Amino acid sequence: MDTLRSTYLDRIATAADGDALEQVRTAALGKKGEISGRMKELGRMTPEERQTTGAALNRLKDEIDAALRARKQGMEDAALDARLREEWLDVTLPGRPRGRESIHPVSQVTEEITAIFADMGFAVAEGPQVESDWYNFDALNIPPEHPARQEHDTFFMARADGDTRPPHVLRTHTSPVQVRAMETTGAPIRVICPGRVYRMDMDQTHTPMFHQVEGLAIGKDISMANLKWTLEEFCRAFFEVDDVELRFRASHFPFTEPSAEVDIRCSWEGGKLSIGQGDSWLEILGSGMVHPKVLRAGGIDPDTWQGFAFGMGIDRVAMLKYGIPDLRAFFESDLRWLRHYGFAAGDVPGVAGGLSR
């Protein structure tokens, strides 16, 4: 029994591969294998002999079986290790040196604005930059003969010859997204709509493409008071000053009634702008209660629902917050400017973690 045992354990330990191991299994434990042969001899033994030899043979069988399994597992593990060594692939990229690439102030400020309004329960909606005449004007209560159409310095898209429908426009404001959002979401609704807008205009504070964010909140009893609170809360968070003071000046927009332009208290002492103190006022946005006709255009019943809207220039508040003097530089793609005014890629704004550096 001992010779049998050491022979097979030895052969198992030295088997070169899986096939060799399988041969050892057949030789030892197979139907015609040596252990099975010995089992058959049990019949010729006395009952006492049969009992001791049988039990010993069974133990040997188990022992060889376990050794076979262990060796097989060892071979598989080694094969896997070898494959992992051979097929190893470095998928990491070298780290980027900080301070070379940076986030554009418009992107950063859009993220900041989104974070603040998200915290107040506003979702983000987007619409097309090439917009139909209807969404950009009519749906916002600006019919074709309305003088506001002229004030918008609109870029028109060309129509094919003979096509007499009104041409599409490059949207002149983000207000059309209000109507699209009403259509898709219905009331109640709370959204902001940031994005690019276009007007034929160019000087230190105007570029043909710029950015706005539209805000819209519709409910059963939303009032100007809610608008005022929301905007004050926003300004406090955005400009990171506790004492902000806003001034609501009566104004006129076709899509709101009543309408107000909103100024923020500031000072220009020593040529430096600071928000929240001083004797100057700076206009930052237009706002009002959404006109019943606009609600209707968006498929919302003005007898049940009402709400406020506002529109703010993103570039403008970016200039104010970060002291950037010339709007045109925003879009000149000058890397030196971007390195000076840009933000590191890791500076993700959040209401809890602080909005700016």
- Geometric angle at alpha carbon 292, from 175 and 297, rounded to 5°: 60
> Residue from 149, 173, 180, 321 that binds ligand DAH (CB under 6 A)?
173
Instruction: Classify burial at 283, counting beta carbons within 10 Å of its beta carbon; exposed 0-12, middle 13-18, buried 19 or more.
Output: middle
Nearest alpha carbon to residue 313 among 203, 175, 216:
175
Q: Which residue, 28 or 312, has its beta carbon nearer to ligand DAH?
A: 312
| Binding status of residue 168 toward ligand DAH by CB under 6 A | no
Whether the Cβ atoms of residue 290 and residue 255 lie closer than 8 Å to each other: yes
**Cis bond upstream, residue 105 (ω within 30):** no
Whether the Cβ atoms of residue 176 and residue 196 lie closer than 8 Å to each other: no
**Cis bond upstream, residue 258 (ω within 30):** yes
Q: In this structure, are strands 189-198 and 256-267 parallel, antiparallel, or unpaired?
A: unpaired
Any idea which residue has 């706002």 for tokens?
Answer: 287
Q: In this structure, are strands 256-267 and 280-290 parallel, antiparallel, or unpaired?
A: antiparallel
Listed ranges 6-14, 49-57, 202-210, 306-314: which one lies at the site for ligand DAH (CB under 6 A): 306-314
H helices present in the chain, as ranges: 2-14, 18-29, 34-41, 47-87, 105-119, 133-136, 148-151, 175-185, 224-239, 292-297, 314-322, 335-341
In angstroms, the CA 341 to CA 328 distance is 14
Q: Which residue, 21 or 214, has its beta carbon nearer to ligand DAH?
A: 214
Task: Give least dist CB 119 to ligand DAH, A.
Answer: 21
> Residue from 311, 318, 338, 343 that binds ligand DAH (CB under 6 A)?
311
Listed ranges 60-68, 233-241, 276-284, 303-311: which one lies at the site for ligand DAH (CB under 6 A): 303-311
What are the phi and psi torsion angles at 205 (to 5°)? -115, 5
Task: Give least dist CB 284 to ligand DAH, A.
Answer: 11
Listed ranges 5-13, 80-88, 280-288, 324-332: which one lies at the site for ligand DAH (CB under 6 A): 280-288
| Binding status of residue 122 toward ligand DAH by CB under 6 A | no
Q: Which residue, 230 or 287, has its beta carbon nearer to ligand DAH?
A: 287
Which residues in the 182-221 window bind ligand DAH by CB under 6 A? 214
> Residue from 105, 176, 254, 288 that binds ligand DAH (CB under 6 A)?
288
Whether the Cβ atoms of residue 185 and residue 191 lie closer than 8 Å to each other: yes
| Binding status of residue 305 toward ligand DAH by CB under 6 A | no
| Binding status of residue 309 toward ligand DAH by CB under 6 A | yes
Q: Which residue, 25 or 152, has its beta carbon nearer to ligand DAH?
A: 152
| Binding status of residue 8 toward ligand DAH by CB under 6 A | no
Listed ranges 36-44, 276-284, 285-293, 298-306: which one lies at the site for ligand DAH (CB under 6 A): 285-293
| Binding status of residue 112 toward ligand DAH by CB under 6 A | no
Whether the Cβ atoms of residue 188 and residue 305 lie closer than 8 Å to each other: yes
Whether the Cβ atoms of residue 252 and residue 261 lie closer than 8 Å to each other: no
| Binding status of residue 234 toward ligand DAH by CB under 6 A | no
DSSP for 240-260, written as a single string: T-S---EEEEEEEETTEEEEE
Q: Which residue is nearest to ligand DAH (CB)?
A: 311
Listed ranges 91-99, 113-121, 284-292, 331-339: which one lies at the site for ligand DAH (CB under 6 A): 284-292
Task: Give least dist CB 253 to ligand DAH, A.
Answer: 4
| Binding status of residue 253 toward ligand DAH by CB under 6 A | yes
Q: Which residue, 185 or 267, has its beta carbon nearer to ligand DAH?
A: 185
> Residue from 141, 154, 175, 207 that binds ligand DAH (CB under 6 A)?
175
Residues in the site for ligand DAH, rule: CB under 6 A? 173, 175, 214, 253, 256, 286-288, 309-311
